[in-house]
Structure 1
Amino acid sequence: MKKDSKIYVAGHAGLVGSNIVKNLIAKGYNDIVVRGRNELDLTNQNSVMNFFETERPEYVFLAAAKVGGINANNTYPANFIMENLQIQCNIIDAAYKNDVKKLLFLGSSCIYPKMCPQPIKEEYLLTGALESTNEAYALAKISGLKTCYFYKKQYGANFVSVMPTNLYGPGDNFDLENSHVLPAILRKMHEAKVANLPTVEIWGTGKALREFLYVEDMADACVFVMENYDEIDFLNIGTGEEISIKELAEAIKEVVGYKGDLCFNIDKPDGTPRKLVDSTRLKEIGWKYQYSLRQGIEKTYKWYLENEDSVRTH
C-alpha cells in the first residue's frame, strides 16, 4: 500500500476495525473510506456493489461481522450464518469485480475443531467437529476463509485471511452475560471495588488456559500482513503465551485495585481446557506483538474508567 492508496475498512466501528483505522492513520495512510450501518447495508448485494463501483477502493480490510456471545449464537444461529455469509460474499465478490488490489479477511478462533491438538496450527482447520454453541458463526467464518482461498486459486485475486486468538481492549463488550472472559472479569472487579464487596465470583475452576492478544497488536498485525504477505494460506495471529483463568483474574484484581477475595464457582463450566494458537508462520515473516498482558489490561482498564458511562454493557 502507498500512503495515498484508497483503503476501505469494513466494520470500522467495531473492536478490531476501529483500531485498524487508528493504526493506518498513525502510519500515515491518508485516504481511508468508512461507511456506517445507516449509510451502507453490507447484507445488501446491490448496495455493496454500488459502493465499490463508486468509491473504487484499492485495498480492503474485511472486519465487519455479526458477532455475539454463546447465548446469542445459540438462540439465533440462522441469523449468524446468513448475515455473515451475506456480508462476506458481497464484499469479496465486489472487491474482485472492481479490481481491488488486495483484501484482508478476519476469521475467528472458533473455526477450529472443538477438540483440537494444542497449540493450534493452521492446518488443523476442518479436521474435526466444531463447538456446537457457535457452529453457525464458525461455518460462516470458515466459508469466508475458503472463499478468499478459492478466489485466489481460480482468479489470482490477492485475497488473504488472518485468524486471531482471543482479543480484548478499548471498545470491547463488557456485558456480563455475553462478553468474553477478560472484559467480564474486569467489570466485575471494578464494580465490586466500588461497592466494597467482599468477594467476586469467577466461573469454573480457574484452571483453564487461554491466550489473549491486545486489540492494538491485532490491528498492527493486520496492517503488517496487508503490507507484507501475499500467500494463499491464512495466518494465525497470537502471542504464543497462555495464562490460567485464575492467574488472569489475579492480574486483573491487581490492576483494578480490588482488595476482596476470588470465589471460583466450580458448578459453572470451564470450557475448553486449553486454547492456544500457533503463530509461527506470522512470527517468521517478521511480526511480533508489543503489549504484554499486564500492559494491555492496564490500558483497557484506563479506557474503561474514562468511558464508563458509554461502555457497551449489553
Structure 2
Amino acid sequence: MDKQSKIYVAGHRGLVGSAIVRKLNAAGYSKIITRTSKELDLRKQVEVGVFFEEEQPEYVFLAAAKVGGILANSTYPGQFLYDNLMIQTNVIEAARQIEVKKLLFLGSTCIYPKMAPQPLKEEYLLTGELESTNEAYAIAKIAGIKMCNAYNKEYKTNFISVMPTNLYGPNDNFDLQSSHVLPALIRKIHEAKMNNESTVSVWGSGRPLREFLHADDLADACVHLMKHCDAEQVGEFINIGTGKEISIEQLALLLCEVIGYEGKLVFDISKPDGTPRKLTDVSKLHHLGWKHSIELKEGAQDAYSWYLDNVIKS
C-alpha cells in the first residue's frame, strides 16, 4: 500500500472509520474513498457492486457496521444480525469481484464464548456458547471472519480479519440508549457534575473486567497490518487490544477523576453485567510488530475533551 493507492474506508464517519481516515491522512495517503450511508447503502448488493466497479479501490478497510452496547444489542437483535450480515457480505463479495489487493475486516472480541478461558486467544473461537446479550452481533462478525477465510482459500484473496477489544475515542456514541460503557459513563458523570447530583448510577455490579483501546491506536494497528502483513501471516483473524484490564468500578472512578466529579457511584444490580471478563491475548499482534501507545487515563482525557468540544458545544 503506497501513498498513491486508492483506499476505500467503509464507515468513515464512525468511531473506527474516522480514526482510520485520520491516520491515513496524517501518513500522507491522498486517494481515500468514502461514502455516507445516504450516498451508498451497503446493505444493497447492487449499489455496492456498482460502486466498486466505478471506483476500483485497491485496498478496503471494512469498518462499517451497526454497533451498540448491551441495551441496543438486546433490544434490536434482528437489526444487528441483518444489517451486519448484509453490509459485510456485500463489501467482501464486491472486493473479490474486482480483485482488490487487500481487505481488512473489523469485528469485535464479543465473538468469543462467554465463559472462554482468559486471556482470550484466537483459537478459542466457537469453543462455547456466546454471551446472550450480544449474540446476534457476534454471529454476524463470526460469519465475516469465516467468509474472509473461505475466500482466501477458494479465491486466493488477501482478506484480513481483526477483532478489537472495547473501543473509545473521538466520534464515539454518547447516546445512553445505544452507547458502550465508557462513553455512557462519561456522559452520566459529566451530567451529574453539571447538575450537582450526589450520586451516579452504574449498570451492574461494577465487578466485570474490561479492556479498552483508543480508536487512534486501533487505526494505527490496522494500517500497520495492511502495510506489512498478509492473510497467511495473520491467520484466520487477530486480536487487537492492550492486554490490560480494569473493572467497571475502577473505570468509573478513573472517569470521575478525569471529569472532576466528587459524588458517589451507585451500582444497579438489577441491570446485566454481561460477560464477567474479556481480556485479549495480544501476543500474535506483538509478534507482528505492533503494540498500543495510548494508556487509559490519557485516552479517557482525550475522549472527554472531544465530548465537551463536539457534543456539549454542538
Cα deviation digits, residues 98-140 of structure 1 (max 9, x gap): 0100000001111111111100000100111112222221111
Q: What is the CA distance between 1:216 and its match in structure 2? A: 0.6
* CA–CA distance in structure 1, aligned partners of residues 82 and 265 of structure 2: 40
Q: Judging changes above 3 Å, is the alpha-carbon distance between structure 1 residues 270 and 151 closer, same or farther for their aligned structure 2 residues?
A: same
When normalised by structure 2's length, the TM-score is 0.95
* CA–CA distance in structure 2, aligned partners of residues 79 and 260 of structure 1: 38
* Equivalent residue runs for 1:282-293 within 5 Å: 282-293=285-296
Cα deviation digits, residues 257-289 of structure 1 (max 9, x gap): 112122233343332221101111001111011
Q: Judging changes above 3 Å, is the alpha-carbon distance between structure 1 residues 70 and 205 closer, same or farther for their aligned structure 2 residues?
A: closer
Q: What is the CA distance between 1:80 and its match in structure 2? A: 1.9
Query: What's the % identity of the aligned pairs?
Result: 63
SS at match of 1:308: helix
When normalised by structure 1's length, the TM-score is 0.95
SS at match of 1:262: strand
1:79 corresponds to: 79
Task: Say whether residues 1:250 and 2:264 are aligned partners.
Answer: no
Cα deviation digits, residues 172-229 of structure 1 (max 9, x gap): 1112232111111111111111111111122233222110001110111111111111
Which letter maps to 1:251?
Answer: L
1:18 corresponds to: 18
Query: Aligned pairs, how many?
Result: 311
* CA–CA distance in structure 2, aligned partners of residues 95 and 268 of structure 1: 41
Which letter maps to 2:290?
Answer: W
1:145 corresponds to: 145
Instruction: Please point out which of 225, 241, 244 is paired with 1:238.
Output: 241
2:37 corresponds to: 37
Which letter maps to 1:271?
Answer: G
* CA–CA distance in structure 1, aligned partners of residues 81 and 265 of structure 2: 37
Q: What is the CA distance between 1:310 and its match in structure 2? A: 6.8
Larger CA deviation: 295-304 vs 37-46: 37-46
Which letter maps to 1:55?
Answer: E
Which letter maps to 2:244?
Answer: E
Q: Which structure 1 residue ranges, 5 or more long, are not aligned?
A: none
* CA–CA distance in structure 2, aligned partners of residues 51 and 134 of structure 1: 31
Q: Judging changes above 3 Å, is the alpha-carbon distance between structure 1 residues 273 and 215 closer, same or farther for their aligned structure 2 residues?
A: same
SS at match of 1:307: helix
* CA–CA distance in structure 2, aligned partners of residues 75 and 246 of structure 1: 25
1:299 corresponds to: 302
Q: What is the CA distance between 1:307 and its match in structure 2? A: 1.2
* CA–CA distance in structure 2, aligned partners of residues 171 and 286 of structure 1: 27
Task: Say whether residues 1:189 and 2:194 are aligned partners.
Answer: no
* CA–CA distance in structure 1, aligned partners of residues 12 and 80 of structure 2: 19
1:262 corresponds to: 265
CA contact (8 A) 2:163 2:240 kept: yes
SS at match of 1:61: strand
CA contact (8 A) 2:114 2:130 kept: yes
Which letter maps to 1:215?
Answer: A
Which letter maps to 2:50?
Answer: N
* Equivalent residue runs for 1:271-290 within 5 Å: 271-290=274-293
Q: What is the CA distance between 1:246 and its match in structure 2? A: 1.5
* CA–CA distance in structure 2, aligned partners of residues 272 and 226 of structure 1: 31
Q: Which structure 2 residue ranges, 5 or more long, are not aligned?
A: none
Structure 1 stretches of 4+ with a deviation exceeding 4 A read none
SS at match of 1:12: coil
Larger CA deviation: 80-89 vs 149-158: 80-89
Task: Say whether residues 1:210 and 2:210 are aligned partners.
Answer: yes
Q: What is the CA distance between 1:65 and its match in structure 2? A: 1.0
